[in-house]
Structure 1
Amino acid sequence: MGTFIQLVVDGLSTGSIYAALALAIVLVNQATGLINFAQGGMAVLSAYVAWAVYGWGVPLIVAILVAIVFSFLLGAVIERYLIRRFEGGDPDTAVVVTIGLLTLITGICAWIWTYNNRLFPSLFPLETLQIAGAVISVRSLGTFIVIVAMMGVLQALFIGTKLGLALRAVAINPQSSAFSGLPVGRLLMVGWGLAAVLGAVAGVLVAPQLTLTPGMMDSALVYALAACILGGLSSPVGVVVAAWLIGVLENLAAVYVPFIGHDLKIAVPFILIFVVLIIRPQGLFGRKAVVRV
């Protein structure tokens, strides 16, 4: 039982990393209707900014706040001067643009800071707690709490605020939103900026656990996209639950399913995706899209 609890705890900790990035992807999708494959690269760049500012002798929390402000401006500028040129056209073109942006940002990070591993300080103490036979690090527990808070804020934003409802309206039908008097361009910039802020939070949470490198979020991005598909792009709560489910099932399968083991555990989320898409194509918590014809 102790081993099982430990695997579940470790899976929730790993899943929280995927969830942080998945929430940023959901926010961009809800605000613009696009999937931003560059979200991981933007998170890494923000983490590097925090690391560089911290290196100047600034307190860590202030360095993270600077990185958050930088991230919001970065997301807004990218939407205004790059993505907007492709919005309203072929969605596949915009997807290719975000993939190219990911490559560009990763290259810029490598050019400025090289590919050497950098040690990023943790917001939380490095002590551990022992609960029900499982060893839980305070850092993992802190990450879990932050992700739950982010999930709640994002869900409340989309459901209970005028800004969230306006972002969703713009994503569904920008033309009708413009006719209704909504500032479509400004809302799109705000959506990308807020998503970049979520990515920045993900970056500074992940960097102490993985060490800071230009490709730090590459594998996490794959799992985050899997969580978005499983949970449903319309549900922040759904993608977080899906990310935790992926982390836990991956760990359990690696230990308790002999033919999977640690080498094939990466296939677990893709098997889940295959099953869910057959049974419920909109995701576990997603809503069916109704289109008038």
Structure 2
Amino acid sequence: MGTFIQLVIDGLSAGSIYAALALAIVLVNQATGLINFAQGAMAVLSAYVAYSFLRIGVPLVLAILLAVVVSFIFGALIERFLMRRFERGDPDTAVVVTIGLLTLITGIAGWIWSFNNLQFPSLFPVQSVNILGAVVSVRSIGTTLVIVGIMILLQLLFIGTKLGLALRAVAVNPQSAAFSGLPVGRLLMVGWGLAAALGAIAGALVAPSLTLTPGMMDAALVYALAAVILGGLSSPLGVVIAAWMIGVLENLAAVYIPLIGFDLKIAVPFILIFVVLLVRPQGLFGRKDVVRV
């Protein structure tokens, strides 16, 4: 039982990291209708910004907050001067642009800070607690609680605030939103800025576990995209639950299914995607789009 609890809690911790990126992807999609494949690279860049503040003596919490602010500005500028040229054109072109942006940001990060592994301090103490025979790190608990808090705030943003409703309106139909008097351009910038800020939090959470490198978030991005597909692009709650499912199930499958093991556990989210897309293409918690003609 202790092993099972250990695997579940470790899976929730890993899933929380996937969820942070998945929430950022959902945020961009809710604001612009696009999938941002550069979200992981933007999170890594934010972690390097926080690392640079730490190097000059800024306290950890303040360094992360400053990185969040810088990331918000960076995300808004990316939307204004790059993505706006492609957002309302061919969606395939915009996807290719975000993939190119991923490569560009990764290369710039490596050029400035090198490709060596750098140590990034954790927000949470390096301690463990015993829960029903399982040894659980305080970092895992803290990471999970932070993601739960962010998920609740995003859910409230999209459902219960004028800003969230305006972001969704712009994503669904920017022309109608503009005719209604909404500042479409500024809302798009805010959407990208918020997603980049959320990515900064994800980078600060994952860097202490993996060490800081330009490609640190590549694997996490794959899992985050899987969580987005499973949970549904329209549901922040759904993508978090899907990310937790992926983290827990891949851990359990690696230990309890010999055919999979640790080498093939990455196949677990893709099997889940295949099953869910057959049964419910909009995701477990997503809404089916209804088109009236």
- CA deviations over 1:94-146 (Å, ceiling 9, x no partner): 00000000000000000001100000011110000001011110011110000
The equivalent of 1:2 in structure 2 is 2
Q: Which residue is equivalent to 1:89? A: 89
Q: Which residue of 1 aligns with 2:284?
A: 284
How far has the Cα of 1:87 moved from its partner? 1.4
Question: Residue by residue, what CA displacement relative to the aligned partner does 1:195-253 show, whole Å, maximum 9, x if unpaired?
Answer: 00000000000000110000000000000000000000100000000000000000111
In structure 1, how many angstroms separate the alpha carbons of the residues matched to 2:238 and 2:135? 27
- Alignment partner, residue 26 of structure 1: 26
Alignment partner, residue 241 of structure 2 = 241
CA RMSD of aligned residues (A): 0.5
Paired with 1:57 and 1:9, the residues of 2 have a C-alpha distance of 34
CA deviations on 1:171-192 (whole Å, 9 max, x unpaired) are 0000000000000000000000
Q: Give the Cα separation in 1 of the matches to 2:223 and 2:63.
A: 28
Q: Which runs of 4+ in 1 moved over 3 A?
A: none
Is 1:131 aligned with 2:131? yes
Unaligned runs of 5+ in 2: none
1:56-102 CA-partner distances (Å, limit 9, x unpaired): 01111111111011000000000000000011110000000000000
Q: Distance in 1 between matches of 2:290 and 2:108?
A: 41
Matched, 1:147 2:147: yes
Superposition TM-score, scaled by structure 2 size: 0.99
Q: Distance in 2 between matches of 1:66 and 1:14?
A: 25
Say whether 1:172 aligns with 2:177: no
Normalising to structure 1: TM-score of the pair?
0.99
Q: Give the secondary structure class of the aligned counterpart of 2:10.
A: helix
Give the SS at the match of 1:116: coil
Show the counterpart of 2:223: 223
Q: What residue in structure 1 maps to residue 162 of structure 2?
A: 162
1:156, distance to aligned residue in structure 2 (A): 0.3
Residue matched to 2:185 = 185
For 2:201, the equivalent position in structure 1 comes to 201
The aligned residue for residue 47 of structure 2 is: 47
Q: Does 1:56 align with 2:74?
A: no
Distance in 1 of aligned mates of 2:10 and 2:284: 23
**Which residue identity lines up with residue 19 of structure 1 in the other structure?**
A
In structure 1, what is the equivalent of residue 67 of structure 2?
Answer: 67
Q: Which residue number corresponds to residue 16 of structure 1?
A: 16
SS at match of 1:224: helix
* Counterpart AA for 1:279: V
Secondary structure of the 1:265 match is coil
> Partners of 2:87 and 2:18 in 1: how far apart?
27
Residues in 1 aligned to 2:34 and 2:187: alpha-carbon distance in whole angstroms: 14
Cα distance in 2 between the residues matched to 1:282 and 1:232: 6
Inter-partner Cα distance in structure 1 for 2:262 and 2:175? 49
Per the alignment, in what secondary structure is the counterpart of residue 142 of structure 2? helix
Question: Unmatched 5+ residue regions in structure 1?
Answer: none
Q: Counterpart in 2 of 1:264?
A: 264
CA distance, structure 1, for counterparts of residue 117 and residue 93 of structure 2: 34
AA aligned opposite 2:81: Y
Aligned residue pairs total 293
Of all paired residues, the percent bearing the same amino acid is 80
Alignment partners' CA distance in 2, 1:45 and 1:76: 15
Matches of 2:156 and 2:17 in 1, distance apart?
Answer: 21
Is 1:109 matched with 2:109?
yes
Give 1:292 shift.
Answer: 1.3
Question: In structure 1, how many angstroms separate the alpha carbons of the residues matched to 2:134 and 2:76?
Answer: 43
Structure 2: how far apart are the matches of 1:131 and 1:5? Answer: 8
